[in-house]
Structure 1
Amino acid sequence: MNKKYLGVVLMVVGVAAVIWGYNIYDSASSELTRAITGDSPAEAWVGMVGGAICFAIGFLRVK
């Protein structure tokens, strides 16, 4: 039973991290940096990829 609660928490945290990462990626300063240098901020990728991994682990725990 505790694994299911942990899985739900991981899924919620994962979705929040993906949203946070996308907000960083889509921010005005990030767009300006991408236009000038072509680089994306590392925090955005960490948030999006880490959130997706966290969500997947949570989904497997609930299943």
Structure 2
Amino acid sequence: MNKIIGLAVLVAGVVLLYFGYTEYNSTASQMTEMVTGNPTDNAIWFLVGGAVAAIIGLGLLLKK
């Protein structure tokens, strides 16, 4: 059961990383980064959330 949950969390993390990557490279994020020096908050939250979810999912998959 933990393997299925781990796989689901890992897939969710990868999806969030994808959305974060596309948001980071969007025109709005690039314009915001040009003005403020930082990308949009959505891009950061998607990337951080995706990385955390992927690490947790991988940990659940590799746990015995």
Q: TM-score, normalised by structure 1?
A: 0.91
How many residue pairs align between the two structures? 62
Taking the aligned partners of 2:43 and 2:35, their CA distance within structure 1 comes to 17
Report the identity percentage: 32
Q: Residue 48 of structure 1 corresponds to which residue in structure 2?
A: 47
The letter for the 2-side match of 1:24 is E
Taking the aligned partners of 1:55 and 1:39, their CA distance within structure 2 comes to 24
Taking the aligned partners of 1:52 and 1:44, their CA distance within structure 2 comes to 12
The letter for the 2-side match of 1:57 is I
Q: Residue 31 of structure 1 corresponds to which residue in structure 2?
A: 30
The letter for the 2-side match of 1:32 is M
Higher alpha-carbon deviation: 31-40 or 4-13: 31-40
Q: CA RMSD in A?
A: 0.8
Taking the aligned partners of 1:19 and 1:61, their CA distance within structure 2 comes to 21
List 4+ stretches of structure 1 deviating above 4 A: none
Structure 1, gaps ≥5 residues long: none
Q: Does 1:5 align with 2:7?
A: no
Q: TM-score, normalised by structure 2?
A: 0.89
Structure 2, gaps ≥5 residues long: none
